[in-house]
Structures are given as structure tokens and as C-alpha cells.
Structure 1
Amino acid sequence: MRSLTSKGAATRQRILEGAAAHIREHGVPATTLDDVLARTATSKSQLFHYFPGGREELLLAVARLEADRVLEDQQPQLGDLTSWPAWQLWRDKVVDRYRRQGRLCPLNSVMSQLGDTTPGAQAVVTELTRRWQAEIATGVRHMQDIGEIDPGLDPDRTAAALLAGIQGGVLLQLSTGRTAHLEAALDLGLAHLRAHRLTPPERGIFGLDSPI
């Protein structure tokens, strides 16, 4: 994206956030460019100045914004997976986020409209998956470093499995309106982590109880 002045960046952000808010309230099919113009007090020339690709470019920007919100809504818990209580708090935060969101998922709605096979849409999903998995894997590594989890457990593979469970649970929630599958996936994922806790003798073997 070309460099913008601070005023230009603020205008672009106002258009973007206004479009995202309208989509959250009404869905993508019911959101037109005229709706966005009215909501953000923006002229058509301004909108096309900042989003020359029109509706498709604006929707892709909204998808990126909503992808960022998925991770932001899990903070600070997602970035602080440093103890078993912290993991439980993150689990509860994820469930609460999707329970409040309900059956209308803004990101899923926008991606469906864009077509999940387009390069731009694929890039949004790929980047969200990479960042989310990396945050979870960092938490697993921390637990290994403090001697709570077997160092032989693969953090990236474990994070990938947890994330796959979350996404599957969210998809089922969109169909059923219930978070039961999401909760089950998270609970079993955390149970798997706890099953790899080190016993005191094992901590000694790995040198995790040795004085520094």
C-alpha cells in the first residue's frame, strides 16, 4: 500500500472500520458501498482513492482487520500462556469470544464473499493461522522451559492440533449455534498437554530442578 499522510491514514481507517462495523451488524450481502459512504460520511471519490479496487479491495481489507481482531480478542491471555491457570484462562477467553460472536462470523462472512481460493483471501487465512499457531507454540515452549511439559513434545505440532480443534469447533458452532464442540476440543487439547506433565523424578532427569 502506498504511503499515506497521517490525515489520509485516518480517513482510510475510518472507512475500513465503518465497513467492518456495518458488516458485523448486517452481513456482507446487505452491505453496499453506499452504506459504507453513508456510515462514514465519506465521498465516493475518497473511498475509491483509498480503495481503488472498490468493493473487493475494501472487503479484503476488512478481512485483514477481522483476522487481527481474532487474535486481539484473545489477549492478554494468548500472549501469557505461562502456567496451567493461564492456559485455562485462555481457554475460557476463546469460548467467551465465540459465544458472544454467535452464528454470524464477520471473517467467515467476508471470506465467503471473496472466495477462499483467491490469492488475497488465502494470504489472510495463512497469516492468521501462522500467527495464532506461533502464539500457542510459544506457550508450549514456555511450559517446557519451566519443567511443566515433557521437552520431547513437539510445540508446533501440538499448537497445530489445538488450533485445528478450535477451528473445527467454531465451524460447528456456526452451524449449530452451540459452543459444545469448541469447548470439547479445547478441553481435550489441554488435557493432552497435562498428560505430558513431568513428574518430579523426570524433572530431575532433565535437570529442571537443578539450581542455576
Structure 2
Amino acid sequence: MKLTPKGQATRQRILEGAAGYLRGTDPGAATLDDVLAVTRTSKGQLFHYFPGGKEELLLAVARHEADRVLTDQEPHLSALDSWESWWAWRDAVLQRYRAQGRHCPLGALMDQVSSTAGAREVVTELLDQWQRRVRDGVLTMQAKGLVSPGLDPAVVAGAFVAGIQGGVQVLRATGSTDQLQSVLDLLLDHLRTGPAPAGPDRAPDRQATPR
């Protein structure tokens, strides 16, 4: 469905309003009437922009939240070109998930739309983009002679993404980011192993940030 600029703005308003509301509640418990009230939208208007109703809206919100996962890591994620930037990225990831706590908006949404057509693509695209940006950072560091050329950038990036996702699952279960912090620090230490020149751009010593 091709929308006019006004229609696109209306759809985006509904989407962002629903995302803000669902971020603070259980998507499974939210009703369509709840979303209509929060977004000040009529049922006819909502079905015009989201013909599949609540299921289609939740999937659109999941895509929106997936984009936020990466946006919240910027500008560090797209500029992993020094040890300082890697540590800044690590700190940004920890800060994001500490602020989020047990409630993971994207995880809760994906639980609701797991059987919906397109749900798998949302997760796959997010993980692919995430891993690609981390891989590019490893390649940049290798080109600068700061990371061992013997490391496989794709494997290292995959380990970072998988480690973060595992830490987030523990966070959802326990409310603690200790494991997330541990896996990030361990992987950064692994990335730093191997020949790298001494100098001002060599990895700084870091103490684990206390919770």
C-alpha cells in the first residue's frame, strides 16, 4: 500500500505511540483497545494502516524496537577503530541493558509474533547488521595492526553478538547484568591477545565497572 506523506506520518505516529506504550507493558496483555486509546486512533484508521490488526502492528513495533537496539549503541558501534571506541561501545551496551532491566521490549514482542510471517526476518536482519558492524570494527583494527591477523573477524563478531544475547537472556531471568559484563570483558581481552604495537593507541588497562 503506497501512502501519501501525510499517511506515512500518521502511520509512523501510530507506530511510535504503540511502541512507547508497549515498551512499558506486556504486549501479550495489551489489547487493541489499549493501543487505540494510547495512540488516539480509531479502529478504522488503525486497520487502514495495519490491515492485519494487532498482529501486524506488533510485528511493525518489533521492527522498530530492533532498529533501536542498534541505534542505542551509536555512535560507537559504527566507529570501532580504536581500543577507546571498543570500550566506549562496551560501556554503552551495559548502560542500555542496565537501564532496561528484566523487561526486554523486543524479546517480549517477538514472543508474541513468533509465528507471524516476517518475524524470523526481523531477528535475522538485526543479528546480521549487528554482526556485520562488529566484524567491520575487527577488520579496521586488524588493518591498523592493533588486532592479530590470525583472528577471524566474522567468528569474533559472531561471538560478541551471541555473548550479548546470552547475557540479555540471563538478565531477563535474574535482573543482573553481571554475566553480560563478564562476557564482554572476556571477549575484549580475547580480541586484545596477539601482536599489537606499543603506543598511545594500545588497549588501556581497564577495571571491571562495578554494578
Q: Same fold (TM over 0.5)?
A: yes
Structure 2: runs of 5 or more not aligned: 199-211
Q: Which residues of 2 match residues 101-140 of structure 1 at below 5 A? A: 101-115=100-114, 118-140=116-138
| Residue in structure 2 matched with residue 204 of structure 1 by the alignment | none
Cα distance in 2 for residues equivalent to 1:191 and 1:57: 42
Q: Quote the RMSD (CA, aligned, Å).
A: 1.2
Counterpart amino acid of residue 120 in structure 2: Q
Query: Residues 51, 191 of structure 1: CA spacing in aligned structure 2 closer, same or farther, 3 A cutoff?
Result: same
CA distance in 2, matches of 1:42, 1:148: 53
Count residues with an aligned counterpart.
198
Q: Which has the higher contact order (CA 8 A, sep 6+)?
A: 2
Pairing of 1:56-205 with structure 2 (within 5 A): 56-115=55-114, 118-199=116-197
Q: What is the letter of the counterpart of residue 103 of structure 1?
A: R
> 2:97–2:168: 8 Å Cα contact kept in structure 1?
yes
Query: Matches of 1:109 and 1:54 in 2, distance apart?
Result: 18
Contact kept in structure 2, 1:22 and 1:31, CA below 8 Å? no
| TM-score computed with the length of structure 2 as normaliser | 0.91
Point out the structure with max Rg over C-alpha: 1
Deviations 1:103-132 (A, max 9, x none): 1100000101112x5441110010000000
CA distance in 1, matches of 2:2, 2:117: 23
Asked if residue 10 in structure 1 is aligned to residue 9 in structure 2, the reply is yes
Bigger mean CA deviation after superposition, 31-40 or 120-129: 31-40
Q: 3-state DSSP class of the match of 1:159?
A: helix
SS in 1 for 2:23: helix
Which residue of 1 is the match for residue 40 of structure 2? 41
Whole-Å separation in 2 of the counterparts to 1:32 and 1:43: 14
Q: Shift of residue 30 of structure 1?
A: 2.6
Structure 1 residue runs of 4 or more that deviate by more than 6 Å after TM superposition: none
Seq. identity, % = 58
Q: CA deviation at 1:63?
A: 0.5
